[in-house]
Amino acid sequence: MSNWALILYCGLITYLTRFSMIALIKKEMFNDRIREILSFVPSAIFPAIIFPAIFINDKGLFEIDDNPKILAAIIAMVIGIFSRSIIATIFSGLASYWFLIFVV
Amino acid sequence: MKSSFKVFLKGIIDVSPLMIPVVPFGLIFGVLAIDIGFTPIETMAMSLIIFGGASQIVLLQLFSGGASSLVIISSVGAVNSRHLLYGAVVSEHLSDLKLIWKIIISYFLIDQAFAISNEYLKKNKNNNRYFHLVGGGATCWVIWQSTTFLGIILGAAIPEKLGLSFAVPLTFLALLVNDFRKFINVIVIIISGLVATFGYNYIPFKAYVIVAALAGLFTAMILTSKNRKV
């Protein structure tokens, strides 16, 4: 598949998830139970991107020794829990990562 | 009744604080897309056509890992399944609108606009209240397109040594800051993360994102059903 087709299909599926509920679904078709489960979608899917990006290196191998990303991610998480700020979380993580690879 | 323009402006004002983190997110997307080998036009088209930060970053992540198109598209669909919830929640406020407005509003139904307009729609009953959602969405659109553009330009100037790709997990981590305090969410996060990490090399077709998400949702289903019975 060409890059352009890939972009178009990804755009289409993104748009359809937004449009389908507004246009087609009536409120009563969505019960509280389904709503409750859907509220866990971010917690269920984002770690699947976060964890491998931290623990798996460029060669596809699990890496736990000598991996500054682990400590930097933990610092970012702690800052995030206390500050509840998206921007503080990102920048504290990047700053500690740079500190660990360039200074330490 | 307030004029539609005032409601639109209110949407812009309300969403503004949430735009601060969108700036680095957009820059990172632009820089990484060029780094991975997309052309500037393709990168810009992604932001215009897809217009979803998480979707676009997942696309890059899986594309650079060599995943097939089918896996990339279904992973993007899985990431987007949270929009089903947003749509279902706001649909009750939009049910009287003409189809053309539903088509337009759907394009702008993004995390940040949903977060602020959901509150507004609940509290206000004026017929033009949906302009609030359009205002929030349009603001985010402008920020997202311009930071993508800046990222494309900066991309060539940022040295690879900086390890900016690490900003991807950090951005997603930041989107979960409110969930780290909830016990069930933490369990779901750990399960999904472990399945993705240990399944990374063993789950075929790089489908680890989907498998891990399903494992996480299944965990949430079990844990919340127990909660209910108690």
Mean pLDDT of chain A: 89
The pLDDT of residue A70: 96
Q: How many domains does chain A have?
A: 2
pLDDT at A73 over 70: yes
Q: Tell me, yes or no, if A103 comes closer than 8 A to chain B by beta carbon.
A: no
Kindly state the percentage of chain A with pLDDT values over 90: 55
pLDDT digits (tens, 9 = 90+) for B22-81: 888 898 899 989 988 999 999 999 999 999 988 998 899 889 888 899 999 999 988 888
Residue A81 lies in a domain: yes
pLDDT of A29 reads 66
Q: Do both A46 and A93 map to the same domain?
A: yes
Question: Is A35 domain-assigned?
Answer: no
Q: Does residue A82 share a domain with residue A55? A: yes
With beta carbons less than 8 A apart as the criterion, state whether B176 and A79 touch. Answer: no
Q: Are residues A22 and A54 in the same domain?
A: no
Of all residues in chain B, the percent with pLDDT exceeding 70 is 97
User: For B155-164, how does the pLDDT look when each residue is reduced to its tens digit (9 = 90+)?
Assistant: 777 777 777 7
Shared domain for A58 and A12, answered yes or no, is no
The answer on A52 and A4 residing in a single domain is: no
Same domain, A53 and A82: yes
In a domain, A25, yes or no: yes
Verify that A25 and A1 share a domain, yes or no. yes
Whether residue A50 sits in one domain with residue A14: no
* Distant-in-sequence, close-in-space partners of B97: CB < 8 Å, separation ≥ 6: B105, B130
Query: At B227, phi and psi to the nearest 5?
Result: -55, -40
Give me the pLDDT at residue B230, please. Answer: 44
Q: Evaluate whether residue A37 is within a structural domain.
A: no
pLDDT at A20: 87
Same domain for A48 and A88? yes
Domain extent for A82: 42-103
Of these ranges, B74-88, B92-106, B136-150, B197-211, the one predicted with the greatest mean pLDDT is B136-150
Residues in A closer than 8 angstroms to B84, CB to CB, are 17, 20-21, 38
Nearest Cα neighbor of A42 from B109, B15, B178, B25 is: B178
Disruptive mutation site among A64, A86, A91, A103 for chain B (greatest number of B CBs within 10 Å): A86
* Res. A26 pLDDT band, cuts 50 70 90: low
Same domain? A51 vs A11: no
Same structural domain, A74 and A47: yes
- For residue A36, being part of any structural domain is answered with no
Name the percent of chain A in helix, strand, coil, to the closest 5.
75, 0, 20
Yes or no, beta carbons of A69 and B166 under 8 Å apart: yes
Task: Select the more confidently predicted residue: B117 or B145.
Answer: B145
- On whether both A95 and A56 belong to a single domain, the answer is yes
